[in-house]
Structure 1
């Protein structure tokens, strides 16, 4: 059986923890995604930024994983932001109303410059 590839790398900045997502976000990504979130939240940043620039595919399970991260972010009093979504996934975020809860930015630089309030 071939598993889907996914990687998540965490970087810390002054106000933010950035999780660079790469590959396919589906059920196979759950453990790595949760581990990356734990690492990001451990520095108690103002916000956690999910960078989707290198995401190739995300299914409904992947969307559910993002919703779970949103729940965890609220529990830790941290905002969750997203950037670099493809047009397709930005539309899915809008249709599913995730954009009501997760601000979406065109790129990492604009997200880091934002004055988005904490959760």
Structure 2
């Protein structure tokens, strides 16, 4: 299953709801999601991983590249909807040092 995204804007936050797999095939979709979310330079982008069923090491690298782009554009990045497993992966890879992990926003 490929990666899909939906974007909602709430105040100064671009909420990106992701669904599918984050692996090497997800690069174009993740780039498109970031490009759409970063329009207008929101204060932060919240990546909602609730619908993501798989992230491999290449997917983690793609997320790191999104963080680097956001940082260079002074846009904060938050993650929500991580399973306990992926929350642990974010901690051991130290991604959680650079991305704030929050609970999903209620719509």
Range into which the TM-score falls when normalised by the shorter chain:
over 0.9
Q: Report SS of the residue matched to 1:42.
A: coil
Instruction: State which structure, 1 or 2, has the greater radius of gyration over its C-alpha atoms.
Output: 1
TM-score, reference length from structure 2: 0.94
1:105 and 1:46 mapped to 2: Cα distance? 16
Q: Which has the higher strand share?
A: 2
Gap regions ≥5 residues in structure 1:
110-119
TM (normalized to structure 1)? 0.85
How far does the alpha carbon of each residue in 1:79-103 deviate from its partner, in whole angstroms, 9 at most, with x for none? Answer: 0110010000000000011111101
2:90 corresponding residue in structure 1: 93
Give, in angstroms, the shift of residue 20 of structure 1.
Answer: 0.6
Write out per-residue CA displacement over residues 20-66 of structure 1, whole angstroms, 9 at most, x where no aligned residue: 11011001110011011011001211000000011000000100000
CA–CA distance in 2 between the matches of 1:5 and 1:66? 16
Tell me how many residue pairs correspond in the alignment: 106
RMSD: 1.0
